[in-house]
Amino acid sequence: MIKNQICHNCSSADFVVPIVYGYPHDETMKEYKEGKIILGGCVQETGAPKFYCKKCGDPPNSGVLFMDI
């Protein structure tokens, strides 16, 4: 998880992970499968969220898709 990142919605610090954008390579997929990151898609739009709380799902409507890989 990310040090010093606290979810502004549920105040959790233990479930906040970075959202990684771009085409996922082997190391990125490994981190995703280990639950260390969330895949945000191939294109990062302006203002796209940088972190995601796996406990409460914040940021809402972030467009983050969970994939069963």
Contact 14, 51 (CB under 8 A): no
Domain range list for the chain: 1-56
Judge whether residue 63 has pLDDT over 50: no
Q: What is the model's pLDDT at position 61?
A: 47
pLDDT at 64 over 50: no
Would you state the pLDDT for residue 22? 93
Nearest to 31 by CA among 41, 40, 42, 20: 20
Quote the pLDDT of residue 60.
52
Count CA atoms closer than 13 A to 45's CA, side-chain side. 8
**pLDDT digit string (tens) for 3-45?**
667 887 888 888 889 999 999 999 999 999 999 999 998 888 8
* Residue 69, pLDDT above cutoff 60: no
